[in-house]
């Protein structure tokens, strides 16, 4: 079953079960909490793959933590707490942590955020494993358009280094989700409540730092009713730094929240388990509608580094207008770009200093007036990067496709996405004729 189909089924299941739970005339808070935690556990169990050694547990702990987490997805066996159904798991074996709320209003956002914000403290001594490094690398590539090797090469700006350190930590941390089944009646109120909470925790001076509000402290996903907020850390979705070095790291949406839920968890699982193919994502030829919510960038103040934030204050009407699914498409290349990309597909790199014929080739009979201008446009495609004066591919399996109408397109085809798009496009062009 494709991810979109399962997401639709799960969403219908959640809506139906939520209504049943909402109608229960129960006033005992622990019992109410247990009902919604049980529903979340059931949804998570329906979302994972039976062939993997995974378990969904409730009311359990990460080793070293005094916080009880509502629902967790874990690998292997933990330590059972005597005379309970609860467990303690080593940090590296915890894949997903979910805090559950029947209702998610302003006070619940504050409480849920606090429960998740300092999970980072339990991961200080966790060593990065190969799957974590791959995830970190891909996330960094999508946001900074450079490889993680740029750190050692000394070619990161202060802003990029802030993102580098954040994503390295994100790749080690579990997926953190705050799920409220009822709450805000519109997306604007949901966003505004979270921003109000953040504004109340701004550090006014370096002598009174309020910790726990860096990008890595934010949950990966917050769901309230049919609305979502999600982190764009490249694991899976990523938004590149803009020209002013702002990173649009937190977005919101009114689209099916269970799809974001599945994408987040399945992405983590495909990196962790080699036997799990990228085919689980189906055709993957659409882009879910998300709206910019919070941008961030590193900032120095009185010799100390911290994060500054920018809030995209859209009206509710504007948020409703921008809720249409878009089609994914590869990058269209011009003739010069294709030649260079094709050359990089054949060999690992192009020497920008010692290749004395390169600039002449780029300028000859083209609109480009300099090699530098050409490189800036080529880097903007997200297909290449420059390190130590060498031009290299930023993708794992870059491929180019010639179309009957004369276009040349390129993309990373490691998931087969480009191949699926090309087949669909060929059918579309055939039907047009």
pLDDT in tens, 225-240: 999 999 999 999 899 9
Among 327, 342, 366, where does a domain finish?
327
Are 314 and 396 part of one and the same domain? no
Are 59 and 140 part of one and the same domain? yes
Q: Is the pLDDT of residue 204 over 90?
A: no
Percent of the chain with pLDDT over 90: 85
CA distance 428 to 331: 18
Are 234 and 130 part of one and the same domain? yes
The structural domain count of the chain equals 2
CA distance 14 to 258: 9
Are 386 and 425 part of one and the same domain? yes
Strand 79-80: give its sheet, edge to edge.
79-80, 87-89, 54-62, 69-75, 94-104, 175-183, 221-224, 227-231, 247-253, 291-301, 304-311
Among 327, 343, 372, where does a domain finish?
327
The reported pLDDT for the residue numbered 1 is 58
DSSP assignment of 66-95 equals: -PPEEEEEEES--EEPTTSS-EEE-GGGEE
Q: Is the pLDDT of residue 26 over 70?
A: yes
Give the distance from CA 426 to its chain's centroid.
31
CA distance 171 to 139: 9
Are 139 and 249 in contact, with CB atoms under 8 Å apart?
no
The reported pLDDT for the residue numbered 433 is 67
Q: Is the pLDDT of residue 148 over 70?
A: yes
Range of the domain at 403: 331-432
CA distance 362 to 365: 8
Distances (CA, A) of 16 to 13, 187, 221: 5, 21, 22
Q: What is the pLDDT of residues 138-147, one digit of tens each?
A: 999 999 999 9
* Range 103-129 average pLDDT: 94
Are 303 and 382 part of one and the same domain? no
Are 266 and 340 part of one and the same domain? no
Are 305 and 358 part of one and the same domain? no
Are 288 and 159 part of one and the same domain? yes
Q: What is the pTM of this model?
A: 0.94
* Range 342-355 average pLDDT: 93
Among 272, 292, 327, where does a domain finish?
327
The reported pLDDT for the residue numbered 278 is 84
* Range 274-291 average pLDDT: 89
Instruction: Give the mean pLDDT of the chain.
Output: 94
Are 356 and 407 part of one and the same domain? yes
- Pick the closest to residue 172 from 280, 95, 254, 278 (CA basis): 95
Are 138 and 9 part of one and the same domain? yes
Are 124 and 156 part of one and the same domain? yes
Are 302 and 427 part of one and the same domain? no
- The highest-confidence range among 46-50, 64-68, 178-182, by mean pLDDT, is 178-182
Q: For 14-18, 102-106, 290-294, 428-432, which range has the lowest pLDDT when averaged over its residues?
A: 428-432
């Amino acid at each position: 079953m494709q991810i979109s189909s399962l997401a639709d089924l799960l969403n219908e299941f959640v809506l139906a079960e939520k209504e049943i739970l909402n109608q229960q005339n129960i006033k005992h808070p622990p019992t109410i909490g247990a009902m919604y935690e049980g529903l979340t556990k059931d949804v998570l169990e329906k979302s994972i793959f039976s062939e993997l050694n995974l378990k969904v547990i409730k009311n359990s702990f990460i080793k070293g933590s005094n916080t009880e987490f509502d629902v967790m997805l874990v690998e292997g066996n933990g330590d059972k707490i005597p005379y309970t159904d609860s467990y303690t798991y080593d940090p590296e074996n915890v894949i997903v942590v979910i805090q559950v709320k029947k209702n998610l209003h302003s006070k619940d956002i504050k409480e849920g955020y606090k429960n998740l914000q300092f999970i980072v403290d339990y991961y200080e001594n966790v060593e990065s494993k190969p799957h974590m490094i791959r995830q970190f690398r891909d996330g960094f590539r999508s946001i900074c358009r450079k490889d993680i090797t740029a750190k050692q090469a000394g070619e990161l700006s202060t802003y990029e280094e802030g993102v580098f350190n954040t994503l390295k930590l994100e790749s080690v941390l579990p997926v953190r989700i705050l799920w409220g089944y009822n709450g805000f009646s519109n997306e604007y109120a949901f966003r505004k409540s979270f921003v109000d909470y953040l504004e109340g925790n701004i550090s006014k001076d370096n002598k009174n730092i309020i910790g726990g509000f860096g990008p890595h402290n934010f949950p990966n996903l917050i769901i309230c009713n049919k609305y979502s907020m999600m982190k764009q850390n490249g694991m899976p979705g990523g938004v590149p730094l803009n020209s002013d070095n702002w990173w649009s790291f937190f977005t919101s949406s009114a689209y099916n929240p269970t799809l974001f839920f599945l994408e987040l968890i399945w992405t983590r699982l495909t990196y962790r388990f080699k036997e799990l193919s990228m085919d689980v994502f189906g055709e993957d030829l659409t882009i879910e509608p998300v709206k910019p919510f919070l941008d961030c960038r590193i900032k120095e103040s009185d010799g100390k580094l911290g994060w500054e934030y920018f809030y995209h204050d859209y009206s509710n009407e504007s948020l409703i207008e921008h809720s249409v699914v878009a089609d994914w498409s590869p990058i269209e290349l011009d003739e010069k770009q294709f030649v260079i990309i094709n050359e990089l597909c054949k060999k690992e790199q192009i020497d920008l200093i010692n290749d004395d014929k390169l600039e002449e080739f780029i300028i000859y009979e083209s609109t480009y007036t300099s090699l530098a201008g050409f490189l800036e446009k080529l880097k903007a495609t997200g297909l290449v990067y420059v390190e130590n004066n060498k031009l290299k591919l930023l993708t794992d399996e870059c491929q180019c496709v010639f179309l009957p109408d004369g276009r040349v397109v390129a993309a990373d085809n490691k998931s087969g996405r480009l191949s699926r798009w090309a087949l669909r496009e060929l059918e579309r062009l055939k039907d047009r004729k």
